[in-house]
Chain A
Amino acid sequence: MDFLAPTTWADALAAKAEQPDAVALAGGTDVMVEINFDHRRPPALLDLTRVPELREWGTDTDGRIRLGSGVTYTRVIDELGDRLPGLAMAARTVGSPQIRNRGTVGGNLGAASPAGDSHPPLLAADAEIEVASVRGVRRIPAAEFYTGVKRNALAPDELIAAVLIAPASGPQQFCKIGTRNAMVIAVSAFGLALHPQRRVVGTGIGSAAPTPRRADAAAEFLAGELAAAGLWESRDALPEGLAVEFGRKVRDAAAPIDDVRGSAAYRLHSLSVMARRAASWAWDDYRKVA
């Protein structure tokens, strides 16, 4: 096995081009488990923790937050909780303090597990993933990034550079079901973002389909009902039954399986409950701002 430890982004991309089967390594919270348990013996590890720009975040020219792929969950919580509340809420549910100190949003995207906690808020916020290779840079909408169970849209020579997310323009929520508060892989998860300026609702379903996915029909239904009743402007209470119906439609967008963490039926039921609650909580927040 080779251990590649580039100290610049250009060197990292060159190393990945030369050895496309090298496995990118950041916090190690997925990759090192697979190596420790002999589940994986990659020909090379590509350590990205020495590339400074991956650990940085800032504001892009279009006003979006550009979150380097190596920024840890702890820093997302401490430094971006106000601007990216949905992602920060999800980050607080990741693992334990030790795991949040190492794990990164970029690593979550690289692993592309349907249960990854970052994915629902990234989908709900219409985030884009910036990937790069020696051939160039491209930006992939989160909704197009997850291509299968633990598969993503990266080409073999590409690495994840950053995530681009607009600062929240309205309330955001994240809900996750698990057996305890810490060290939980989601049984099911749901992310919601209200985008009042665009009169749009964003959604993200976790752990209840082969990939993280949005619930577009549910989101369009809720946004449409809010618009039809003039609620975006009036900020009146949600009509009775609207959040329940939204929850049903979110449930209908899922395609879960039975596995060791939970049954498909439980995942569907819990999703409908989480979506109803997330919509109610977010709307309550929206009303408070008025």
Chain B
Amino acid sequence: MADITQLKDIASQVRRDIIRQTYYSNSGHPGGSLGCADFFTALYFKVLRRHPHFDMTGKGEDMFFLSNGHISPVWYSALARAGYFPIEELATFRQLHSRLQGHPATHEGLPGIRIASGSLGQGLSVAIGAALAKKLNGDPHLVYALTGDGELQEGQIWEAAMFAAHHKVDNLIVTVDWNGQQIDGPNDEVISLGNLPAKWEAFGWEVLHTPGNDMASLLHTLQHAGELTGKGRPVVVLMRTEMGFGVDFMMGSHKWHGVAPNKEQAIKALAQLPETLGDYPGPGEI
């Protein structure tokens, strides 16, 4: 198991992969991806008890579902770095004939992905279904899911939240990427999420808080979340991240939600992110 220093190194490489994927495809969503790089690193290199090879059914292992599919670059990087597919394949992101679709999909058979996401609000329901199957199968492993914060404006999220509490889906840990931003601006200007912790509590969930860009705190909270499972209530982790974290000119603004860096910006960003594991071979010069 990786220690904190190793995890930080991996996260730095994941951030480089995000910048390079979005630069080379001249599209994609770098902001939310950078903000969640620490979470994905913690998840795949520390938290998930997982088989080394992909099994769609997830029997006998923890499972993860991404609901806010637009942050695919961070997921693809984490999956490749965790060994699910060759890191060279990151160079095909958003290209024709690629398994790395703009938004995650099962259709092309990319290992690690169990459901398509992109149209928001659907992933929590899917994760609940997987968690129910684990209970039916007597499988003690957990189901994890990540949602965005703007995504919580979708009604299906609250249908799912109500169901999970009622049916005591207590083998489920949902993390909310609470960066406070969405495409059109800050949540508070678009549609305020209001008192988010109180909302989840009122729906009957265990609510935890964590900084999402501090590896030690994040690991501590996710471990605590695991300890709260099996007690009759679903668990939500409200994770405070900063959109664009790790690249100074991208941080804290919704402007980098769905905009790729140009060459000059990509070079400037990569200069702030140490190459720790080796870049995947890119088609160009950066």
- Specify whether A and B are partners: no
Residues on A close to B: CB < 8 A? none
Residues on B close to A: CB < 8 A? none
